Amino acid sequence: MVLIYHVPNFSSLEGKIMAWKELLKKPYLSQRPQLSQGLATHAEDRELELAFKNLKDLEDHCKKLYKEVRRHEECANGLHRLERKMSSDLTNSPSCREYEETENLRKISEGYQSVVYQLGHATGDLTHLSQKTVVEPMKKLTAEFGSIAAALKKRDATLSECLKCQSKLEKLSKDKTIANQVKIEQAKKSYLQSKEDFESQNRLLLLELPQFYEKRVDYFQPCLQALIRAQVDYYGESTRLFTHLVSTNKDTKYQSNEEFQEELDKNISVIKSLSIVSN
């Protein structure tokens, strides 16, 4: 029996490699937001820091998930390659080919080889769907951490500018001469404007970051459900194929694990008891 094995078509392999590089690069959320030094309340500073910590943990967990999905794909494809080689070696071995008394073994091995071939399609579908149901949605989610990091960086830059304006105003206010009044007014105007910008950005982050974190379950739940359905399809197809293989070999007696081990030990004992001598 000559079989052409199915090899999953990864025409976009280069794109997937680039996607993995994108997913596994340095985390976006690596720098904590600066304390406001009194421009916001202590409670607001703590709330922002907690939101940052939660999102940083979420980003780390996403990256761990990427790695586990990749390992799962590699293991699934590796298992299929090993079964493919094992079934081919068994079918083409002398034990199955050269002796009439092994006809039944040959039929079983060829049936096994056919099952492995068909499972190649199921394995390809499983790895493809794991990309669609987990990797691509997680890639989109990870991109949002970059936007969050940029918003936090902008907030910190506005905070630094505000503190700078505040320091300048305090310094000028020590000299309240008439000649210095214009500079004081300009510094006060700059300070109030930068303070308003900071408060607006800080307030928006305090509102939206916790909301983003709370939406993580709603976002990932359908991804997980789709992945589970893909697993059900894969293992269901595997069960169906092997069950069919067993049913088409009704004349073959299938032993339990205990019976198999007992028979194996008995045959090994017989082999060991043989005396092989040369004349």
Task: Report yes or no: 197 and 162 within 8 Å, Cβ to Cβ.
Answer: yes
Residues 124-162: pLDDT tens digits?
999 999 989 998 898 889 889 999 999 999 999 999 999
Q: Which two tokens stand for residue 6?
A: 């199915």
Residue 246: name the closest of 111, 113, 151, 136 by CA.
111
Mean pLDDT of the chain: 84
- Report whether 66 contacts 98 (CB < 8 A): no
pLDDT at 21: 59
pLDDT of residue 8 exceeding 50, the answer is no
Judged against a pLDDT cut of 50, whether residue 11 lies above it is answered with no
Give exposure, 77-99, as e/b (b: 16+ Cβ within 10 Å).
beebeebbeebbebbeeeebeee
Contacts of 3 (CB under 8 A, 6+ apart): 113, 114, 117
pLDDT score recorded for residue 155: 96
Burial class (CB in 10 A: 0-12, 13-18, 19+), 122: buried
Please report where in the chains the tokens 């905070």 appear, as a residue. 159
Is residue 101 over pLDDT 70? no
Q: Supply the DSSP string of 65-77, one letter for each residue.
A: HHHHHHHHHHHHH
Q: 123: exposed, middle or buried (C-beta count within 10 Å: 0-12, 13-18, 19+)? A: buried
Tokens of 56: 């940083």
pLDDT at residue 213 greater than cutoff 60: yes
